[in-house]
């Protein structure tokens, strides 16, 4: 297979930039080089931000909302027309099963443009009539204006989906963007540049600069004074660093960060559904989902049964080549991440965990032996204070602990620095509402997981993030409200 070259996309043109620096793109399924990526430094970021600023004054700015929305529908349609190319690129970059990427990553990547293109057309502006002494009144109404140039810093776990989740609403609101995709997954963001040109999105509206975080494209972009706001998805520690950058010039941030999410399984649940849902929430995408559940709390009467059944389900997962339809579990994103996850497997054992299943590296066939594979793993027996129970591992791993009362379940779920999501499994509707309202998270699922209505608010509390994107909530971030007061 020919090596893929990921170039920057600046002002509608693919360019290697001037830094002269490249790095290897390694396919995580095989550990082999699949391409090279041009690293952007300050000059590339300067050029991309300049292009994005210029585009704010160009044809993009005079387009009607309906015209912009039509263009974004065109982007979604073109992604779907080139579905196989996007799918191949995403699978190469991430090693995830084709079946998963074709059901989630690529369709949602396209849908992110449509949903926000439609949504912005239907957001009412607020109006107030103010009483005045002359009794004529004053009419106040709000205008939603684009915020300007938005820096989009994206992660590697759902590369196209999570990047377009930000680019879609940003462009729908009339902003321009500079995207810094993860260094691990440059391909689909690069392809999106081709799509933008093909459907006629004006040059400079969508720009991409590749590179790393510190001392590289990410840090230069978030520090750039020409950037009006920064939207970030990634680790909480990275978010803290980016917020410090954003403080200079008082630039607004939207932060979608880590999680250590709890599933609460009550004895009155439909156990088949709870097992099926927990299997997905713990192991889908090799556990590399911010919404995944690494902490499972099960009501004591069904604890042993739940552990036995989840063990047998986990042992039924099949690791293998992404193209093999039988593959249900892919690799981790990189050798470095594999070292981190395996380190947590060791830490858990040192902390006294019982290994129910997994805990190590699988034996893979020779063509996959250099890939970033780890076994799906279930632990029990750790105290709530254990690092493996408190820190986000971001791998195919969960710890299962028993609880005795609803009150205890709520306390355990909330006993974390994070607050992204939870999944509650119960047959008692009143309990479902009661518990959901008391867990400190942005998203509480009842008898489901990862069921997403894109019109709803998405985000986390505590160290899982700042702000909400999704639906009209994202529009608060991507627009600036400007009040007009007219004396009548
Ligand atoms: P990461 O923080 O390592 O990297 C995310 C992005 O930030 C990458 O593009 C990276 O190059 C860039 N970056 C790193 N340092 C930077 C710096 N100093 N300045 C500017 N940019 C910098 O995260 P990751 O490993 O790519 O993704 C996994 C993490 O993302 C997990 O913690 C996961 O929970 C989180 N995540 C959260 C959500 C959510 O919606 N809350 C969704 C997906 C992933």
Could you please report the per-residue DSSP string of 205-223?
A: SEEE----STTSHHHHHHH
Distance set, CA 463 to CA 155, 250, 260 (Å):
17, 21, 10
- Residue-wise DSSP of 78-118: HHHHTHHHHHHHHHHHH---HHHIIIIIHHHHHHHHHHHHH
pLDDT score of 136 more than 90:
yes
- Residue 123 has a pLDDT of 86
Torsion, CA 248, CA 253, CA 259, CA 263, rounded to 10 = 150
The answer, yes or no, to whether any atom of ligand 1 lies below 6 A from the CB of 162, is yes
The answer, yes or no, to whether any atom of ligand 1 lies below 6 A from the CB of 294, is no
Average pLDDT over residues 158-169: 98
256 catalytic? Reply is yes
In angstroms, the CA 59 to CA 57 distance is: 7
In this prediction, residue 94 has a pLDDT band, given cuts at 50, 70 and 90, of very high
In angstroms, the CA 135 to CA 487 distance is: 11
Atom of ligand 1 nearest to the CA of 241: 18
Going from the Cα of 463 to the center of ligand 1, the distance in angstroms, rounded, reads: 13
62: left (phi over 0), alpha (psi -120 to 50) or beta: alpha
CB under 8 Å to 282, separation ≥6 — which residues? Answer: 263, 292, 293, 294, 296, 310, 314, 376, 378, 396, 397, 398
In angstroms, the CA 232 to CA 460 distance is: 13
The answer, yes or no, to whether any atom of ligand 1 lies below 6 A from the CB of 218, is yes
Catalytic residue among 88, 184, 256, 299: 256
Atom of ligand 1 nearest to the CA of 242: 19
Atom of ligand 1 nearest to the CA of 214: 18
Burial of 434 (0-12, 13-18, 19+ CB in 10 A): middle
pLDDT score of 40 more than 90:
yes
- Write down the pTM of the prediction: 0.97
- The pick from 160, 180, 234 for probing ligand 1's pocket by mutation, whose C-beta has the most ligand atoms within 8 angstroms, reads 234
pLDDT tens, 53-67?
A: 999 999 999 999 999
Atom of ligand 1 nearest to the CA of 465: 41
Residue 128 tokens read as 């107030």
Going from the Cα of 173 to the center of ligand 1, the distance in angstroms, rounded, reads: 24
pLDDT tens, 394-424?
A: 999 999 999 999 999 999 999 999 999 999 9
Long-range contact set of residues 407-414: C-beta below 8 Å, sequence gap at least 24:
409/264, 409/266, 409/297, 409/299, 409/435, 410/264, 410/435, 410/438, 410/439, 412/262, 412/295, 412/297, 412/384, 413/262, 413/264, 413/295, 413/297, 413/439, 414/438, 414/439, 414/440
Average pLDDT over residues 228-236: 98
The answer, yes or no, to whether any atom of ligand 1 lies below 6 A from the CB of 392, is yes
The answer, yes or no, to whether any atom of ligand 1 lies below 6 A from the CB of 207, is no
Distance set, CA 474 to CA 48, 250, 459 (Å):
24, 19, 10
The answer, yes or no, to whether any atom of ligand 1 lies below 6 A from the CB of 217, is no
CB under 8 Å to 290, separation ≥6 — which residues? Answer: 157, 233, 256, 257, 258, 259, 420, 421, 464
Q: Which residues pair with 297 in a beta bridge?
A: 264, 401
Torsion, CA 155, CA 160, CA 161, CA 167, rounded to 10 = 90
- Residue 456 has a pLDDT of 95
Looking at residue 290, what DSSP letter applies?
T
pLDDT score of 441 more than 90:
yes
- Residue 1 has a pLDDT of 78
The answer, yes or no, to whether any atom of ligand 1 lies below 6 A from the CB of 471, is no
- Residue 122 has a pLDDT of 86
Taking only Cα atoms into account, the Rg of the chain, rounded to an integer number of angstroms, comes to 23
The answer, yes or no, to whether any atom of ligand 1 lies below 6 A from the CB of 213, is yes
Average pLDDT over residues 196-208: 98
Under 8 Å between Cβ of 158 and 285: yes
In angstroms, the CA 442 to CA 77 distance is: 31
Q: What is the mean pLDDT of the chain?
A: 97
- Residue 112 has a pLDDT of 97
In angstroms, the CA 410 to CA 218 distance is: 38
Under 8 Å between Cβ of 372 and 32: no
Average pLDDT over residues 373-381: 98
Atom of ligand 1 nearest to the CA of 255: 41
pLDDT tens, 274-331?
A: 999 999 999 999 999 999 999 999 999 999 999 999 999 999 999 999 999 999 999 9
The answer, yes or no, to whether any atom of ligand 1 lies below 6 A from the CB of 238, is yes
44 catalytic? Reply is no
pLDDT score of 124 more than 90:
no
Q: Which residues pair with 263 in a beta bridge?
A: 296, 423
In angstroms, the CA 103 to CA 84 distance is: 12
Going from the Cα of 185 to the center of ligand 1, the distance in angstroms, rounded, reads: 12
Looking at residue 469, what DSSP letter applies?
B
Going from the Cα of 475 to the center of ligand 1, the distance in angstroms, rounded, reads: 22
Residue 155 tokens read as 């992660």
The alpha-helical segments, DSSP class H, found in 351-405 are 387-390
């Amino acid at each position: 297979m020919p090596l893929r070259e990921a170039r920057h996309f600046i002002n509608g043109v693919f360019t290697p930039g001037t830094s002269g620096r490249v790095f290897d793109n390694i396919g995580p399924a095989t550990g082999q080089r699949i391409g090279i990526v041009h690293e952007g430094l300050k000059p590339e970021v300067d050029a991309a931000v300049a292009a994005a600023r210029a585009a704010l004054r160009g044809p993009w700015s005079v387009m009607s909302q309906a015209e912009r929305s039509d263009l974004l529908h065109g982007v979604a349609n073109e992604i779907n027309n080139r579905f196989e190319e996007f799918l191949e690129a995403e699978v190469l970059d991430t090693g995830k099963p084709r079946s998963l990427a074709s059901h989630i990553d690529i369709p949602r990547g396209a849908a992110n443009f449509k949903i926000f293109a439609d949504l912005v057309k239907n957001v009412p502006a607020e109006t107030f009539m103010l009483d005045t002494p002359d009794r004529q009144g004053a009419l106040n109404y709000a205008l939603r204006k684009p915020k300007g140039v938005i820096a989009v810093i994206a992660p590697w776990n759902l590369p196209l989906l999570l990047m377009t989740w930000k680019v879609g609403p940003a462009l729908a609101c009339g902003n321009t963007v500079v995207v810094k995709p993860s260094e691990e997954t440059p391909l689909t963001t690069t392809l999106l540049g081709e799509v933008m040109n093909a459907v006629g999105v004006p040059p400079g509206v969508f720009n991409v600069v590749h590179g790393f975080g510190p001392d590289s494209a990410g840090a230069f972009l978030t520090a750039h004074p020409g950037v009006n706001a920064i939207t970030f998805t990634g680790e909480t520690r990275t978010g803290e660093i980016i917020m410090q950058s954003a403080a200079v010039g008082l630039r607004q941030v939207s932060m979608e960060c880590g999680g250590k999410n709890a599933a609460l399984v009550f004895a009155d649940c439909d156990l088949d559904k709870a097992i099926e849902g927990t299997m997905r929430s713990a192991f889908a995408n090799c556990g590399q989902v911010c919404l995944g559940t690494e902490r499972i709390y099960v009501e004591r009467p069904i604890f042993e049964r739940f552990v036995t059944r989840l063990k047998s389900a986990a042992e039924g997962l099949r690791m293998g080549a992404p193209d093999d339809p039988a593959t249900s579990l892919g690799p981790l994103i990189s050798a470095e991440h594999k070292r981190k996850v395996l380190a947590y497997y060791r830490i858990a054992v040192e902390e006294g965990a019982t290994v129910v299943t997994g805990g190590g590296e699988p034996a893979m066939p020779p063509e996959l032996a250099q890939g970033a594979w780890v076994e799906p793993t279930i632990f029990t027996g750790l105290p709530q204070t254990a690092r493996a129970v408190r820190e986000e591992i971001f791998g195919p791993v969960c710890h299962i602990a028993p609880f005795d009362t609803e009150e205890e379940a709520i306390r355990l779920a909330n006993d974390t620095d994070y607050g992204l999501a939870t999944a509650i499994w119960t047959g008692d509707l009143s309990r479902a509402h009661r518990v959901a309202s008391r867990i400190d998270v942005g998203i509480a699922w009842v008898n489901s997981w990862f069921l997403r209505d894109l019109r709803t608010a998405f985000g986390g509390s505590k160290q899982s993030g700042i702000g909400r994107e999704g639906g009209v909530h994202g529009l608060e971030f991507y627009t600036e409200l400007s009040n007009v007061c007219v004396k009548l």
